[in-house]
Structure 1
Amino acid sequence: MSNTESMTMSREMRNMESYSPVFVDAYNPLQAGSIDGTDEYPHDKAISRAMISTYKPNKFVIGDPECTVFVGHLSPLTTDEIIIRSMKQYGTVVRARVVKDIVTGFSKCYAFVEFTEPYEARNAVRSGNKTTIDDHEVLMEMEKERTLRGWIPRRLGGGLGGKRESGQLRFGGKDRPFRKPILRANVENIVSDNMVNYKDKPRFESYKNQDKWKRESYRDSYY
């Protein structure tokens, strides 16, 4: 094994040992762009932009970040009052705010809810995620802007979640958690073993003799 292969193997093993389905302590836009958090290079321009961006949380945001829950995938018609009624079952709600576009005034289909105690917010995230509000299945996560070190919002190329059609999915959140990394060497061994076993099968040899494209003079590297 070469030094490069050895270093790659060591890095992949460290990734598996430190695996977490979501960001816990710090946000990394390069990892967020990868389904298993192991990409070494950005695959879209937005990630490149996020990697060189710095973001300072809005100093005018009020409330305790440890008690604040993000609620996404809301109906465009859902109001602050509906959110408060729906969230009372998890604890005492201090305030709830559906975020709206400053130009159009239309809902952006997400809200922030502050509870009196951190354990109430955690209870809401644990019990309320994927429940229904106004006939919409909602996403609930703890607020990231003021609690996750290195956070970069969606408008700067970061964020979490997103739609597949956009081509800019961001992983590491409850909506789209990371998949556990697979060691490249193990994958290569499995593929290699399967190819050998396939070639050794008598049925393959019989098929090869029947089809001229499988004869030695026509075979390429796939066979």
Structure 2
Amino acid sequence: MSEWSPVAKVYEPLKAGSIDGTDLEPHDKAVWRAMMARYQPNKGVTGDPHLTLFVARLNPQTSEDKLQEVFSKFGDIRRVRLVWDIVTGFSKRYAFVEYKEERSVKRAWRDANKLVVDQYELFVDFEQERTLQGWIPRRLGGGQGGKKESGQLRFGGRDRPFRKPINLTSMMPQNRSADRWDASSGREERQRDQEQDREHRRWRERKSDWDRGNDRGYYKEKRDSKHHRDRSRERDSNRKEDRRHRDSYRDRE
């Protein structure tokens, strides 16, 4: 337990499938697939992996020139590689940016994450395929992300760090730079939770206002209906009275 870290130091599919890294049994088929996979990093990829950033969630229309323009603000770039589908020729919406200096990589990692480019919010992290031991890509059941709707969540990365186990006392990584961990990640998670709470409160307030508005409309409709019935009865009574007067006048004649 003393070795707990919010980010994975070695990639293990079973731990990545657990929100706090303490699961003992695979809970979906993707975890089984990742555990059985024997993946080797792409040998055709060149460049220094420690100076390379992984950039994802790109706009399908974003080009390499646009990425070059955006990420050159953080330092001198050696290479930008946008990944394309070899069948369709369309962008796969992720790229790799290699810098010349380590300080440029750290600056871009810190400041470029969640940067909006072509109306899309980017996700930026260090390259892990060649730096994280045991790494398995998402297409084989690995990765460190995903959506709740898909039922395949992975943890241990910047986007979804591990949460502290319940029986673990408060502790942080001993070497944050080595672990590539920043306290801002914890703050971001708390901010997301707070924003969800605020959104839920706003939804409840709107629902209450809507319900009250419906109640007012319902009772107003009842009042209007009652008033309409009273007026109808009054008109009927007046007609009957007029008819009696006319009949009595004819009888006298």
TM-score by length of 2: 0.64
Higher mean displacement: 64-73 or 172-181: 172-181
- Shift of residue 19, structure 1, vs aligned partner: 2.2
2:142 paired with 1:163? no
2:154 paired with 1:176? no
The corresponding residue for 2:81 is 97
Structure 1 segment 55-204 matched on structure 2, within 5 A: 55-183=39-167
Structure 1 segment 30-49 matched on structure 2, within 5 A: 30-49=14-33
Letter in 2 for 1:35: I
- Shift of residue 27, structure 1, vs aligned partner: 0.7
1:61-109 CA distances to partner (integer Å, 9 max, x unpaired)? 0111011000111111111011010001111111112211111111111
Q: Which runs of 5+ in 2 are unaligned?
A: 169-253
- Shift of residue 119, structure 1, vs aligned partner: 2.4
The corresponding residue for 1:200 is none
The corresponding residue for 1:3 is none
The corresponding residue for 2:4 is 19
Letter in 2 for 1:61: V
The corresponding residue for 1:217 is none
- Shift of residue 169, structure 1, vs aligned partner: 1.1
Letter in 1 for 2:62: T
- Shift of residue 35, structure 1, vs aligned partner: 1.0
Distance 1:167 1:101 in 2: 25
**Larger Rg over CA atoms:** 2
- Shift of residue 126, structure 1, vs aligned partner: 1.3
- Shift of residue 118, structure 1, vs aligned partner: 2.3
The corresponding residue for 1:193 is none
1:176-219 CA distances to partner (integer Å, 9 max, x unpaired)? 111111129xxxxxxxxxxxxxxxxxxxxxxxxxxxxxxxxxxx
TM-score by length of 1: 0.72
Higher relative contact order (CA 8 A, sep 6+): 1
Distance 2:148 2:84 in 1: 24
- Shift of residue 20, structure 1, vs aligned partner: 1.5
Letter in 1 for 2:64: D
Distance 1:163 1:77 in 2: 23
Letter in 2 for 1:151: W
SS at the partner of 2:125? strand
Distance 2:116 2:4 in 1: 30
Distance 2:61 2:24 in 1: 41
